[in-house]
Amino acid sequence: MLLDRAVERASQSPPLRLDDIPVPMPRPNETLVQVHVCGVCRTDLDLAEGRLIPPGYPVVPGHQVVGIVAACGREVGGVSEGDRVGVPWIHSACGVCEWCRSGRENLCPYFRATGCDVDGGYAEYLTVRADFVHAIPPELSDVVAAPLLCAGAIGWRSLRLTGLRDGEPLGLTGFGASGHLVLQLARERFARSNVYVFARNAVEREFARSLGATWAGDTADAPPEALAAVIDTTPAWKPVIAALRVLRPGGRLVINAIRKASRDAG
């Protein structure tokens, strides 16, 4: 599935098209992965609708990939043909800068994103640097594992960044793929913490309550108590401002987002 160019929502020209492209050849430090499944992320829609601009077109989107290693470059170690692996949003980084050495590869100046800077998983094969593939435990099916490579990973990172302690109240603004996984992580890790969910959609609020949310309300509603931390996954300025109002003094707001283009970009 190739993305030809970014288009405005009102355009009648579909940005995605099916095409036959050559199977990519792995470089010496890369693996060739045969794709079994690839999840659909809001970021993929942002690419298709022009809010996120890749460095060039056409590009194959998709960054929640689970598949089998089909071939390895001559310098690859620790990964073998036949291994089941996942490929996330982070396709590669330099590995030597201060951000990489501190575990913050997403801030690396040489960071490249799967399905945006390089071809991703809406294809039968993709190549990725061997040190950026992840072994998938056998107890997880391909379909279950795929969302964990984006929504799950960034949700877990956001939860860690809150610095939350067990018993402190947590807020979740927006309740999509990442939010519903973070709620389950929080309930497991912080059993004594109340979790409050802010979502505009009544169905999402009911879903949050079914997963163990202490309370669920609209974005503008006030929770029963001030919060030690809020994770925003919208991201839009109104929910961010609303979240700041419900934080305790010294509370932490973690915004789970990537920079996007304005609607007239491209």
- Residue 147 inside a domain? The answer is no
The domain boundary residue, chosen from 97, 121, 142: 142
Rounded alpha-carbon distances, angstroms, from residue 9 to 34, 41, 54: 32, 17, 17
Structure tokens at 178: 């990442």
Q: What is the CATH number of the domain that holds 157?
A: 3.40.50.720
Query: Containing H/E element for 157?
Result: helix 151-161
Peptide bond into 58 cis (omega under 30): yes
Using an 8 Å Cβ cutoff, are 255 and 232 in contact?
yes
Residue 24 belongs to what domain range? Answer: 2-142
Q: Are residues 133 and 56 in the same domain?
A: yes
**pLDDT tens, residue order, the chain (266 aa):** 888 775 544 455 568 889 999 999 999 999 999 999 999 998 998 898 888 889 999 999 999 999 999 999 999 999 999 999 999 999 999 999 999 999 999 899 999 999 999 999 999 999 999 999 999 999 999 999 999 999 999 999 999 999 999 999 999 998 988 999 999 999 999 999 999 999 999 999 999 999 999 999 999 999 999 999 999 988 788 999 999 999 999 999 999 877 665 443 33
- Residue 266 inside a domain? The answer is no
Q: Are residues 180 and 136 in the same domain?
A: no
Q: Are residues 42 and 128 in the same domain?
A: yes
Return the exposure string of 115-142: e unless at least 16 CB atoms fall within 10 Å of the residue's CB, then b.
bbebbbbbbebbbbbbebbeebeeeeeb
According to the model, what pLDDT value does residue 261 have? 54
Distance CA 143, CA 1 (A): 19
Number of separate domains in the chain: 2
The domain boundary residue, chosen from 91, 120, 142: 142
Q: Are residues 136 and 237 in the same domain?
A: no
Using an 8 Å Cβ cutoff, are 32 and 24 in contact?
yes
Structure tokens at 241: 């401002």
Q: Are residues 134 and 220 in the same domain?
A: no
The domain boundary residue, chosen from 121, 142, 163: 142
Q: What is the CATH number of the domain that holds 11?
A: 3.90.180.10
- CA–centroid distance for 126 within its chain: 18
pLDDT, tens only, 166-197 = 999 999 998 988 999 999 999 999 999 999 99
Q: Are residues 134 and 160 in the same domain?
A: no
Is 48 strand, coil or helix? Answer: helix
> What predicted TM-score, i.e. pTM, was given to this entire model?
0.86
Ordered strands of the 134-135 beta sheet: 125-129, 30-38, 65-72, 84-87, 134-135
Per-residue three-class SS string for 67-81: EEEEEECCCCCCCCC
